[in-house]
Amino acid sequence: MVRISPLEGITYNQDKVNISEVIAPPYDVIPPAEQDNLYNISDYNVVRLILGKEQPGDNESDNKYSRAAGYFSDWLNKEILVKSDKPCIYYYIQNYTTSSGNSISRKGFIARNYIESYEEGNVLPHEHTMGGPKQDRLNLMKACGANFSQIFMAYSDPQKAVDKAIKLPDSPIIDVMDDQGIQNIVYAIEDPDVINKVAELMKDKKALIADGHHRYETSIVYRDYRREQNPDYDPEDAFNWVMAFYTNLDDENLKVYPTHRIVTRETDSNALLENLKKYFDVVQYNFDPGTREDVKAKFISDIENFSEKNIAFGACFKDEEKYYIFKLREKQDVNQLLDKKDVPEVMRKLDLTILHKIILSDFMGFTEEDQLKQNGVKYLKKEKEAFESIENKQAEVVFIMATPSIQLIKEVSSEGYKMPQKSTYFYPKLTSGLVINPLG
């Protein structure tokens, strides 16, 4: 059972700020140059809360966290930020156009999620996480007492009952285009009948964490910290909840993209190719500088088509004017290798399981620790950057992965397993600065 509840959300006062100047990408995708730019755009940009600058002389009492707390308090006092009059859920729509020209409208709602451990089986992690900045986020939560961004949750609702229960107000409270060309629209829903109906419909569902595993795990630590401070706490106290965005796994507008594998460690490409041929059928795509882009488009399209029926992935090697697609042939032999590694049956349906457990581990000699810490193997979300790494000779081998199956993600999670690290990329990211959740 997933417990959700409305929140008395804090939003920017658009009578005092231009909303386009105060939003920002999530903290973990803001490079230093972009951080500087966001600082310069507005004195009230949310970056000052979510990713403050470090300064010489920072210490335990005076640092980026204490400065964030100071900004937060000051902006509330000046009514730059204002709290909603009534508890709300917020309906959030992101409109964007894909690289192929398709118009997508991803939608969902923002509410509070009652914090539970993974073991309780209602909130499910969908992939293994790599080392992350949990202490950093915990320090920020302790200083400010707020969630500045949402955990990205997904639930299964084939009949779209939750969406049908939503009744939107006449106009949104936010309608802003971000610098990625994504339109962000937010409606505040105060109607208690609608809120109660949505909460009731969510009770029989499980919430899959699509993005924000580290922040969710940090919210558990923060909850426990606050409970220790308040032994007589009420289970309904605000710190027992975390702000989340919920979207329907069964909605055709929810798009999930692959994360590609980039090998930078010196590799014997001929030996690797021979090992792969023992288990995979190989399709080869030759190109020259004049035909490369057309061949690449065919190569990418074929990876998607082949992977619908069988485990398949692409690869390109440094200093070669050819692409390869590997289609699994010797399933029985591969299963015998996976038997020795105690890989569960459902995990054997994943292309990344084969890639990590057999190709990277057995054929290329990467340890589990290497793969976790990205020692010689890296993970890139953008397909363009993956190809550029091999074209610019910054990589030895690049593995191009197919789009992950949402249904398979659901199957893996429902059986209590996790996808390999960096398996999926849910695009677009959730914009920061739209709604803030106070933790009391």
At 101 the pLDDT is 87
pLDDT digits (tens, 9 = 90+) for 341-378: 999 999 999 999 999 999 999 999 999 999 988 999 99
Report the phi/psi class of residue 225: left, alpha or beta, with left for phi > 0 and alpha for psi in -120 to 50: alpha
Q: Which two tokens stand for residue 32?
A: 């230093």
At 416 the pLDDT is 83
pLDDT exceeds 90 at position 419: no
Structure-token match 């779209």, residue found: 160
Check: CB of residue 377 under 8 Å from CB of residue 135: no
Section 41-46 average pLDDT: 98
Report the interhelical angle of 64-77 vs 134-144 (nearest 10°). Answer: 40
pLDDT exceeds 70 at position 129: no
Q: Which two tokens stand for residue 24?
A: 């920002």
CA–CA separation, 373 and 377 (whole Å): 9
Between 131-135, 247-251, 319-323, the lowest mean confidence (pLDDT) is in 131-135
Q: Which two tokens stand for residue 78?
A: 């000046």
At 134 the pLDDT is 86
Model confidence at 418, pLDDT cuts 50, 70, 90, reads: confident
Closest residue by Cα to residue 64 from 39, 95, 89, 83: 39
pLDDT exceeds 80 at position 130: no
Ordered by start, the domain boundaries in the chain are 4-254+427-438, 260-400
- In sequence order, what are the beta bridge partners of 153? 209, 246
CA distances from 112 to 244, 397, 415 (A): 6, 43, 26
At 154 the pLDDT is 95
Closest residue by Cα to residue 394 from 385, 382, 403, 404: 385
Percent of the chain residues topping a pLDDT of 90: 88
pLDDT exceeds 80 at position 133: no
List the beta strands (DSSP E) in 61-193: 81-83, 89-97, 103-114, 123-125, 146-147, 151-155, 174-177, 183-189
Amino acid (one-letter) located at 65: Y
Instruction: Please give the model's pTM, rounded to 2 decimal places.
Output: 0.89
Burial of residue 424 (CB within 10 Å: 0-12, 13-18, 19+) is: buried
Model confidence at 430, pLDDT cuts 50, 70, 90, reads: very high
Closest residue by Cα to residue 243 from 344, 373, 364, 111: 111
The CB density around residue 31, as the number of other CB atoms within 10 Å, is: 9
pLDDT digits (tens, 9 = 90+) for 248-303: 999 999 988 899 999 999 999 999 999 999 999 999 999 999 999 999 999 999 99
Check: CB of residue 194 under 8 Å from CB of residue 162: no
At 304 the pLDDT is 96
pLDDT digits (tens, 9 = 90+) for 155-198: 999 999 999 999 999 999 999 999 999 999 999 999 999 999 99
Model confidence at 128, pLDDT cuts 50, 70, 90, reads: low
Section 300-316 average pLDDT: 96
Model confidence at 94, pLDDT cuts 50, 70, 90, reads: very high
Check: CB of residue 124 under 8 Å from CB of residue 208: yes
CA–CA separation, 215 and 24 (whole Å): 17
Between 126-135, 301-310, 337-346, 366-375, the lowest mean confidence (pLDDT) is in 126-135
pLDDT exceeds 80 at position 126: no
- In sequence order, what are the beta bridge partners of 436? 10
Pairing of strands 123-125, 241-248: unpaired
At 193 the pLDDT is 98
Non-local (6+) Cβ contacts of 361 within 8 A are 367, 368, 371
pLDDT exceeds 90 at position 422: no
Section 77-97 average pLDDT: 97
At 417 the pLDDT is 85
Rg (C-alpha) for the chain, rounded Å, is 23
Report the phi/psi class of residue 166: left, alpha or beta, with left for phi > 0 and alpha for psi in -120 to 50: beta
Mean pLDDT of the chain, nearest integer: 95
pLDDT exceeds 90 at position 98: no
- Selected from 3.30.1760, 3.90.660, 2.40.70, 3.40.50, the CATH number assigned to the domain covering 260-400 reads 3.30.1760
Structure-token match 């069988």, residue found: 310
Pairing of strands 207-211, 123-125: parallel
Section 311-335 average pLDDT: 97
pLDDT exceeds 80 at position 132: no
Q: Which two tokens stand for residue 95?
A: 């409109």
